[in-house]
Amino acid sequence: MPELPTKSLGVVAYAKGNLRVEEVAVPVPRANQSVVQIHYGGICGSDLHYWLHGAAGESILSAPMVLGHEVVGRVVRAAADGSGPIVGTAVAVHPATPGPGDGSRYPLARPNLSPGCSYLGSAARIPHTDGAFAGIVVLDSRMLHPLPPELPLLTAALIEPASVAWHAVARAGSVRGKRVLVVGSGPIGALVIAVLARAGAAEIIAVDVFDKPLEVAAAVGATRVLHAGDTDAIAAVDADVVIESSGSSRGLASAVRGATRGGRIVMVGLLPSGEQPALISLAITRELELVGSFRFVDEIDEVIHALSDGSLFVDPVVTHEYAVTDALEAFEMARDSARSGKVLLRFL
């Protein structure tokens, strides 16, 4: 068995505005852990928040933390207990570890809501949970989902955020034959549109403040695009289902205005913590259903299958790719929503 390196090049957030590319330790794997060589990692909004603000929502950095949870790679050492994929297997990573936390109740069939759930690259707990933006990582083998050989790893890099989008669409109920409004066409919004197109939505209207995301939205299945400033056109959509993925109070207001009477709004964009303004009176008088959507459960396997058989088309969502050594430049690009969609880091 080849000897493992003790260090690997990674992307570490130290504090607000302090992001470094440096060597990080490769831990000794436990019996139920596999060693994975990471090929690609997608920069998520939470990664940007840790860099720009030193926090993602109420998860505040109090120590250096390796970022990254949207990753794919290959197993270079299988778990000693025989669990997980064999050496050489291409894998996607499910970054969640459910847990009971403080014992608060939650639906057992929805472990994404467990109060003690941790996520790779999250500062929600102390010590923080390091992420997987590193060349070599050690992960619990249960996190690893084998990929079919015909699925390119570049496309597979979208599996984790596509699972978030898949979960959001599932929260909407059946969308076949319906008119759907998607508010916010960044990477998650674009992936939502791709999932909606596969699910048979009759009309998909995409909204964003910038032209580039709307171009991507049209490429993955939007039948019409609207600029966020065109409030009258948005209000006239009269959508059966609205998926709010902008994560802003203005986006939520557009979602409420754009929904038909008795419609459903799925809120997947994470608004800032604390109180937010909302058009609640309009939601009441229209009997709108406002539904939350948080991460995902086990949709990752459905996403892998849909990407492999070609029924889920997501390639235009990736707009930029950078070597890990250029991570700072990559993060700058990822923060510029006017120019970028999903930005990938390449670790090989």
CATH of the domain at 270: 3.40.50.720
pLDDT tens digits, 269-315: 988 888 999 999 999 999 999 999 999 999 999 999 999 999 999 99
Determine the pLDDT at residue 235.
98
Question: What three-state secondary structure class fits 250?
Answer: helix
Together in a domain, 154 and 179: no
Statement to judge: residues 115 and 225 lie in one domain: no
Q: CA-to-CA distance for 146 and 304, rounded, in angstroms?
A: 9
Task: Go through the chain and tell me how many residues it has.
Answer: 348
| Average pLDDT over the chain, rounded to an integer | 97
CB 193 within 8 A of CB 241: no
**Both 119 and 189 in a single domain?**
no
Residue 312: its pLDDT value, please?
Answer: 98
Give the start-end residues of each E strand in 188-249. Answer: 203-208, 224-227, 239-244
Domain contains 297: no
Sheet with 224-227, strands from edge to edge, namely 224-227, 203-208, 179-183, 239-244, 259-267, 289-292
Largest Cα separation within the chain, whole Å, is 66
CATH number of the domain at 114, please: 3.90.180.10
| 234 and 211 share one domain | yes
Residue 341 lies in a domain: yes
Shared domain for 176 and 283, answered yes or no, is: yes
b/e map 222-242, b = 16+ CB within 10 Å? bbbbbebeeeeebeebebbbb
Residue 179, domain extent:
165-292
State how many domains the chain has. Answer: 2
- Say if residue 151 is in the same domain as residue 13: yes
The reply to whether 298 falls in a domain is no
HSE of 205, CA atoms in CB hemisphere, 13 A: 22
- What integer pLDDT is reported at residue 1 of this predicted model? 66
* Structural domain includes residue 308: no
Q: What is the pLDDT of residue 189?
A: 98
Whether 305 is in a domain gets the answer: no
The residue written with tokens 């139920």 in the block is 32
Token pair 């109920």 in the structure block, residue: 173
Asked if the structure places residue 267 within a domain, the reply is yes
**Quick one: 321 and 213 in the same domain?**
no
Segment 96-143, tens digit of pLDDT: 999 999 999 999 999 999 999 999 999 999 999 999 999 999 999 999
Query: For residue 146, is it within any domain?
Result: yes
139 and 267 inside one domain: no
Same domain (yes/no): 208, 265 = yes
* 309 within domain boundaries: no
106 and 242 fall within a common domain: no
Please give the structure tokens belonging to residue 300: 């990752």
> pLDDT below 70 — which residues of the chain?
1-2
* Strand-strand pairing, 144-146 and 90-93: antiparallel
- Do 288 and 332 fall into the same domain? no
Chain centroid to Cα 261, Å, comes to 30
* Residue 195 structure tokens: 């999932």
Q: Give yes or no: residues 97 and 75 share one domain.
A: yes
State residue 317's pLDDT score.
98
